[in-house]
Amino acid sequence: MKAKLHRLFSKNILMNQLMTIYSLLLVGSIGIILIGYTILTVNFTRDDSKKVLDTVSRELTASIQVKDATLSGILWDIALTPNQFDNLNKFMTLPISEYVEYSLDNWRETNNNDFFPNVLNNLFYSFPSIQTIDIVWDGREDYLHADTRKTNGVFLQGKPVISKDFTLSRPIPIPNTREMVGHIYVTFDDMFLSKDLANDYAIKTFVFDTGHQVVYEHGTSLNDKKINQIVENFQKTGDLDRTTLQKEAVFNDEVVKGLTVLTILDKSNVTKDILRSLVPVWGVGLFVIVFLLVSLKRVFSNYAKKVNSIVSVTKEVSQGNLSAQIDTTDMKMELCDLSDAVNDMIVSLNQYIQDVYVLEVKQRDAHLRALQSQINPHFMYNTLEYIRMYAISKDQMELADVVFAFSSLLRNNIDQAKTIDLESELRFCEKYVYLYQMRFPDSIAYHFMIDESLENFTIPKFMIQPLIENYFIHGMDHSRIDNAISVKATTHESYVEILVEDNGKGITPERLKEVTEKLEGSDTLLSGSIGLENVYQRMQNYFSNGVELVIDSQIGVGTKIQIIIYQSKDVSVDV
């Protein structure tokens, strides 16, 4: 253990000390963040679960109150007044033929249609939440049953079968004496507003009657045996062990209209929700920690390796190897400065040897350039002419034309003249385009046109060629076979127009705006360029600012460059 600590904090591995400190800070910071997030998540999930439980309990209670009110409304419609009760009693006690006779007599006397099957039918339309109605009458061995399919009712033998859906019962009293002569059971649909919410959160809901028997149950089965035991004991004794239940679950219980509403959310489900939220975050956090630790180790390892390389070179120099140099390719910041300083020191120690060596190399280079400069340019022209004539003799006319065009371009480039007539410039440009056409056969078309009056019009040399070169470098689409460029020189009443037009890729609006602004700017706009801006500057200088350069371009359509030279005393056009 002591040996590990000694290695960790020894002077020879300062980088390891720094890495250890940074790693501890990093892990501590991320750990604090993860712990804080965990605390917030636990509190939020618990609060959210409690809120959801309260919402489910509240809306289930409201649903019970609504259904209880519905049951009161049903009793109001069938047995509130003596006449209504008498009608119900006749229907439940008389044979159906005698009841029909009674109902017809009553209709003739009062003009009221109180035929009880019709009353039952109307109840299902008035209260759509009703699923079934069962009426049990004292003294009868059968009972009246009506549902959504048999809304008029039918008598069935035995006792009513209480559905697992929500069912409420109420005794039927005689209006004047309040003596109970029967019971009504009404089963409602199993819908309340937060039912889906209860399913999402695995909330179990119970509704117990006054005898502590379950009249309604919703939700998945409870996995906790203790909770199940508490619910079973409540059904048997009517005593709810809230202390034990609070340890195992989050719950609400309240009495509504004589019914006990119990909503239970198992704490194990809350814990699962918390884990589902925390596991991905902790996974990402641990991944980030591992990634950063590995990255730190690699960074500090590389740093230590570079420091060792510097030390190694200094040791070689101290042993007399004055040719040793530190490789600064991967050196950065202070290591780069340190390496450069050491290299400069080594160079200064070996300066004499280097000076002699460099002088000898320079002398050899100067001698070589002197020999090269003695080559007569006419030798190259004659050689090219020989190649052209040999191609003609071999009936290779296309090769001869290419050699002739290249020879003409070479001769024009070597020529030191600063101006040229417009016709010669266009011929030179045509040979330039021709060479490109030979390079990309069946892909390029070109057209040159000049007014006869402009053939001797003098312009700066290489005024048009850079514009054409720009097209081949930036504008030509090599995937197409219909590339085309044209140059037209025409004379007008007060100006000469040279139009260079292509169908290339075009210039983006942003780049076109930038170029236009530079051309319209001050004297500094053309610095650092030998292309379009250089052409414009030389035209301005030669024609005393009596020239305009207009560029129009669209992406995918092409580019049009218009040069307008205004005629003046210094500019003449042969007519």
Is 169 or 396 the better-scoring residue by pLDDT? 169
Residue 564 is predicted with a pLDDT of 92
Q: Are 172 and 82 in the same domain?
A: yes
Give domain status of residue 204, yes or no: no
Please compute the mean of the pLDDT values over residues 12-37 and round it to a whole number: 79
Is 462 part of any domain? yes
Let me know if residue 290 belongs to a domain. Answer: no
Same domain, 67 and 157: yes
In a shared domain, residues 342 and 448:
no
**C-alpha distances out from residue 574 to 100, 140, 421, 425, 571, Å:** 126, 131, 12, 17, 10
Give the residue-averaged pLDDT of 382-398.
66
| Residue 547 domain boundaries | 443-566
Report how many helices (DSSP H) and strands (DSSP E) the chain contains, helices first. 17, 16
Q: What is the pLDDT of residue 488?
A: 93
Average pLDDT for 264-286: 82
In a domain, 471, yes or no: yes
487 lies in a domain? yes
Q: Do 460 and 548 have their domain in common? A: yes
Instruction: Specify whether 461 is located in the same domain as 352.
Output: no
How many Å apart are CA 486 and CA 447, to the nearest integer? 5
Q: Which of 29-33, 52-56, 214-218 has the highest mean pLDDT?
A: 29-33
- Tell me the per-residue pLDDT of 103-161, one tens digit each, with 9 for 90 and over: 888 888 777 778 888 888 888 888 888 889 999 998 888 899 999 898 888 988 888 87
Residues 359 and 464 in one domain: no
The last residue of a domain, from among 155, 188, 221: 188
- The stretch 197-205 carries a mean pLDDT of 68
Per-chain mean pLDDT for the chain: 77
Q: Is the pLDDT of residue 371 over 60?
A: no
72 and 163 inside one domain: yes
Task: Say how many domains are in the chain.
Answer: 3
* 180 pLDDT above the threshold of 70: yes
- 86 and 184 together in one domain: yes
Determine the pLDDT at residue 266: 75
Place of tokens 């409690």: 50
Q: Is the pTM of this model over 0.75?
A: no
pLDDT given for residue 561 in this prediction:
92
pLDDT value at residue 223: 65
In a domain, 506, yes or no: yes
My answer on whether 74 and 164 are in the same domain is: yes
Residue 241 maps to a domain: no
Question: Has residue 8 got a pLDDT over 50?
Answer: no
Question: Residue for token digits 């919402």?
Answer: 55
Residues 333 and 454 in one domain: no
DSSP of 250-302? EEEEEEETTEEEEEEEEHHHHHHHHHHHHHHHHHHHHHHHHHHHHHHHHHHHH
Q: Is the predicted pLDDT of residue 528 greater than 70, yes or no?
A: no
Pick the last residue of a domain from 363, 386, 420.
Answer: 363
Q: What pLDDT does 500 receive?
A: 92
CATH classification at residue 514: 3.30.565.10
Q: In this structure, is residue 64 part of a structural domain?
A: yes
Query: Is residue 2's pLDDT more than 70?
Result: no
